[in-house]
Amino acid sequence: ELAAPRHRTIPITLQLQQRNVLCVGGRSGNVSSYRDLIERVGGRFIHHDGGMEDNSSLLESSLAAADLVICQTGCISHSAYWRVKEFCKRTGKRCVFVENPSVSSLARGLQQASEEETLKSDC
């Protein structure tokens, strides 16, 4: 019997309401788990590997299509990191930087983005 994926047990209280979530970087073996997690809370998953294998020119269009960016800083090129940071600053796009490429760190990043958005809308 196969064990249930660990990410299914991670408690997340947010709902992404069909928002496009771009995950930049991460471990290639975890991409399907990242997708499952984001889709489980109602988001649309977009992935760019952060310049490791994907064409770096696709990063700009992926950033433009995203409503929220999760940047996994330990698993992307320096160039991609600075492009993500500059793009989000210039456009005001919400970006959460996550150091660890684990699924639980991605979940915490999503939760952090949700809490910050809630605080903004309460003001």
**Which two structure tokens, joined as six digits, stand for 40?**
């489980």
Sequence letter at residue 122: D
What's the confidence (pLDDT) of residue 56?
A: 72
What's the confidence (pLDDT) of residue 101?
A: 84
What's the confidence (pLDDT) of residue 112?
A: 82
What's the confidence (pLDDT) of residue 3?
A: 41
Sequence letter at residue 82: W
| Nearest alpha carbon to residue 15 among 119, 118, 123, 122 | 118
CB 59 within 8 A of CB 86: no
Q: How far apart are CA 10 and CA 101, in angstroms?
A: 15
pTM of the model: 0.81
CB 12 within 8 A of CB 111: yes
What's the confidence (pLDDT) of residue 113?
A: 82
What's the confidence (pLDDT) of residue 120?
A: 55
CATH 1.10.3300.10 for the 19-122 domain, yes or no: no
What is the block-wise mean pLDDT of the chain (123 residues), using blocks of 10 residues?
48 74 91 92 92 76 94 89 95 92 88 69 47
What's the confidence (pLDDT) of residue 10?
A: 57
